[in-house]
Structure 1
Amino acid sequence: MVVKIGSSTLVDEGGALDRAFVRSLCDQIAELMASGTRVVVVSSGAVAAGRDVLGFSARPDDLATLQACASAGQARLTQAYADVLAERGIPCGQVLLTRRDVMDRDAFLNARVTLTRLVELGAVPVVNENDTLSTAEFAFGDNDMLGALVSALVGADLYAICSDVEGLYTANPQEDPSATLIPHVTEVDHRLTELAGGAGTSFGTGGMSSKLRAARAMLAAGIPTVICRGRREGVLLDVADGRGVGTRFESPAGSPHEGGRKLWIGLAEVPRGTISLDEGASRAVLERGASILPVGVAATSGSYEAGDVVNVRSATGDVVGRGIARYSSEDMARVRGIKLDVIARFLGPERAQPAVHRDDLLVF
């Protein structure tokens, strides 16, 4: 079970690390492990904890100060987990990642080996983004997606996103008193993405939209995901037991799921551009599992080379997947909307290939 804890859940009203909550969380982890469930924690909160250490009353605006706060707070955050878990005889290991660390396929697999071995040895890995070194290009952006990546790395049976909300609602409950909790989701479609709000609190970077992106990736991986309120008493035990807590995202039984390589393409790599599909290509990719042919590419944006990862947008404008482009952005602009036999006639048979082959495409 991978458990992601958001910053707004970890800190008290003043923005300091809430050690009483950390103790409650570790109590639940210890109980889960005693019952045979292995746990990986993906914890936000380093910047918030460092903010307290360095004496800032509000979240800094500049990158250098944020990274300094992350450095000061990371030690305090991990030690808070380690101290409480040690009282229960459970070792704790720290794992700091940036997207650069897992962009290389070998590094991705090495991270998997390290995390898996820690779990096998009875330790609880505490994973966080290495905010002291990451830059915008290589940052995960929020720990919801980092938790999804870790879930894919270890082949988790369950991913719990512990937040300051109960789950996904039919409307914003702060604005609409008639809003109701959505208990179960089998597909993240355009309607659901419109329900998601913007960024989270001043202590964190994520919002419901980032949680939906992570849940959608986990649907592709076949890993059930639950968005729940982290401060609900016994929430991890209830989620693990399958009780009706929060919003559970799970594909219907028998649905196909993607393997490790495609998950690496979709979750670990940094997209360098975007290709947009026409209606016919959108249906072929989403309904029939087809490759993306140049004739179905309606537009391309960004600068990328053949072999780079690109976002794939449907005809409605939604990002529906990521894949490895077989043309550069310059060549894609030339061949888009053209059939393969025409491309072969003018550029040669070796240039007539899919824009993105299905084997290199993760469809969310």
Structure 2
Amino acid sequence: MSRTSSNLTIVIKLGTSSICDEETSLPLLSNLSLLVETIVKLRNLGHKVILVTSGAIGVGLRRLEMNKKPKKLAAIQAIAAVGQGRLMRMYDDLFSQLNQPIAQILLTRHDLSDRTQYLNAVNTFTELLSMGVVPVVNENDTVSVSEIKFGDNDTLSAITAGMVNADYLFLMTDVDCLYTDNPRTNPNAKPVEVVEDVGELRNQVSSPGSSLGTGGMFTKLVAADLATAAGVTTIISRGSSPQNILSIVKHLSTDNPPSSSAPLHTRFLAKDNPMVDRKWWILHGLHTAGTIYIDEGAVRAITKVGLKSSLFAAGIVKVMGSFVVHQAVSLVIERPKKDDGGEIELVAIGKGLVNYSSTEISRIKGCKSTEIEEKLGYADSECVIHRDNLAITLKNFEDS
């Protein structure tokens, strides 16, 4: 069955290379005008649209007549502050020509790390879309530091798509789709049109990158992995031809469409069993503050279908990092590599919100729940991570 052809929620991510000329940093007005026209046409068809944009630093560089981005963080943040206002003014001028209101939303991962703030952001998106407004989203580069940055706007767009339960996420880039190799240097590179498993694909493709953007094809694979886990079909398409979005949406909304009826693109299929909102937020919305190493018994207990237990101190082997109560930590297990002479590898299990600090967990690791009070002098919880606060990513421990 195809999706309904109306009332879709669509997130479009536009990279710096689609906004600014790589050599001069001048805005690509013809390209941006096409994008704005496309978004307004989607709105007129009844769809809700969110634009995730890069470009603040690129526009700021042009305004300050600087040839390249500096390395100093404070300087980059200052340039972003100069560029962000001009970037929004440019979008507002273009959208105003077609009487389409827009709204600016600046986010950092810190804004989403608190559950209340996360829900407030979701509610703001919902209200803006219900008002017929196009939210224009960017990372708040002026205040972001490495610990709270999304890393790139591909990741930000995937998180945004998950927050609003989008139907489609379009990642606009400088090629039509993913290829098995760099099509600019390898004439035998084949297009990858449909992807069911991002993990299997990740090591098989490569693509050219641009000088101004921080993305690249690897970050788009990461974004596709995040978005499809939330049930969002993700599409890579050429940024210089934003009008292709209309044809692709029509193509995907038609039962049994001919394969030739849409422009070349790569489509990542949404997962049939997407993560529920809270666990997706834990996994992708929160900064990872540390790591807890667990044993095989604990892995089986928290991953086994029908059981999915909480994580107890008895199954914890060691703790890495410094974190406090209610922060998010990753869960891993150390195990010998298969057929590799006993070398040790780390297997990622998932992520969860802890009931005890790193110092407390170091003291109670390996202990029974009944021994926690004796070790600490108190027992705030019988488990270290409750099953409702566990987001498991490992599919099959025995086969991993």
Decide: shared fold, TM above 0.5: yes
Residue of structure 2 aligned with 1:362, choices 367, 373, 391: 391
Moved more, 300-309 or 192-201: 192-201
Deviation (angstroms), 1:153: 2.2
- Residue in structure 2 matching 1:239, options 239, 245, 248: 248
Mapping for residues 295-310 of structure 1, pairs under 5 Å: 296-310=315-329
Q: Contact 2:181/2:190 (CA < 8 Å) preserved in 1?
A: yes
Match of 2:331 in 1: 312
Conservation of the 8 A alpha-carbon contact between 1:163 and 1:229: yes
Residue 255 of structure 2: aligned partner: none
Offset of 1:354 from its aligned partner? 4.2
Structure 1: give runs of 5+ residues left out of the alignment.
none
Tell me the CA shift for residue 66 of structure 1: 1.0
Is the 1:172–1:195 contact (alpha carbons within 8 Å) kept by the matching residues of 2?
A: no
Q: Secondary structure at the match of 1:159?
A: strand
Shift of 1:46: 0.5
CA apart distance, 1:234 = 2.2
Distance 1:92 1:233, change over 3 A: closer
Distance between the aligned counterparts of 2:89 and 2:299, measured in 1?
A: 48
Q: Which moved more, 1:315-324 or 1:36-45?
A: 315-324
Partner of 1:260: 277
Q: Distance in 2 between matches of 1:169 and 1:285?
A: 38
Q: What is the CA-CA distance between 1:341 and the residue it aligns to?
A: 6.3
- Please say which structure displays the higher CA radius of gyration: 2
Q: Distance in 2 between matches of 1:8 and 1:50?
A: 14
Deviations 1:120-171 (A, max 9, x none): 1111111111111222222211111211222122221211111223333334
Residue 18 of structure 1 corresponds to: 28
The match for 1:324 among 344, 353, 357 is 353
> Secondary structure in 2 aligned to 1:194?
coil
User: Separation in 2 of the partners of 1:249 and 1:299?
Assistant: 37
TM, length-normalised to structure 2: 0.79
Q: Pick which of 342-351 and 125-134 moved more.
A: 342-351
Contact 2:31-2:241 at 8 Å conserved across structures: no
Equivalent-residue separation in structure 2 for 1:97 and 1:233 (angstroms): 24
Looking at structure 2, the residues matched to 21 and 353 of structure 1 have their Cα atoms a distance apart, in angstroms, of 57
Among 89, 109, 134, the alignment partner of 2:119 is 109
Q: Which amino acid aligns with 2:266?
A: T
Q: Which moved more, 1:279-288 or 1:324-333?
A: 279-288
Q: Structure 2: state its 5+ residue gaps.
A: 1-9, 253-261, 335-344, 394-400
Within 2, Cα distance between the matches of 1:227 and 1:66? 28
Secondary structure of the equivalent of 1:306?
A: coil
Paired AA for residue 189 in structure 2: A
1:192 lines up with 2:221 in the alignment: no
Which residue is 1:218 aligned to? Answer: 227
Matches within 5 A, 1:98-247: 98-174=108-184, 176-189=186-199, 191-195=200-204, 200-232=209-241, 234-241=243-250, 242=252, 243=262, 245-247=264-266
Residue by residue, what CA displacement relative to the aligned partner does 1:282-308 show, whole Å, maximum 9, x if unpaired? 566556373445455454321112321
Q: How many residues align?
A: 360
Change in CA separation of 1:342 and 1:210 when aligned onto 2, cut-off 3 Å: farther
Structure 1 range deviating more: 315-324 or 51-60: 315-324
Say whether the 8 Å CA contact 1:187–1:251 is kept in structure 2.
no
Q: Which amino acid aligns with 1:188?
A: V
Deviation at 1:69, TM superposition (A): 1.4
Partner of 1:31: helix, strand, or coil? helix
Q: How many Å separate the matches in 1 of 2:285 and 2:330?
A: 13
User: Match of 2:397?
Assistant: none
Q: Secondary structure at the match of 2:388?
A: helix
Shift of 1:346: 6.3
- Tell me by how many angstroms 1:44 deviates: 0.5
**CA distance in 1: counterparts of 2:205 and 2:291, whole angstroms:** 23
Answer yes or no: is the 8 Å Cα contact 2:178–2:207 preserved in 1.
no
Partner amino acid for 2:46?
G
State the distance in 1 between where 2:208 and 2:350 align. Answer: 22
User: Are the equivalent residues in 1 in contact too, given 2:314–2:369 (CA < 8 A)?
Assistant: no
Distance 1:340 1:286 in 2: 20
Instruction: Tell me by how many angstroms 1:233 deviates.
Output: 5.4
Residue 77 of structure 1 pairs with residue 106 of structure 2: no
How far does residue 76 in structure 1 lie from its aligned partner after superposition? Answer: 1.8
Helix, strand or coil: the match of 2:191? coil
**CA positional deviation for 1:97:** 1.5
Could you tell me which amino acid in structure 1 is paired with residue 163 of structure 2? Answer: L
- Contact map agreement 1:294 1:339 (CA 8 A) in 2: yes
Offset at 1:350? 4.7
1:88 aligns with 2:98: yes
Cα distance in 2, alignment partners of residues 363 and 200 from structure 1: 32
Amino acid paired to 1:325 = V
Greater shift in the superposed pair: 314-323 or 138-147: 314-323
Match of 1:272, SS?
strand
1:274 aligned residue: 291
Counterpart code for 2:359: E
Q: Which residue of 1 aligns with 2:342?
A: none
Q: Which has the higher helix share?
A: 1
Q: Percent identity?
A: 36
What one-letter code is carried by the residue in structure 2 that aligns with 1:224? T
Q: Show the counterpart of 2:340.
A: none
2:281 counterpart letter in structure 1: W
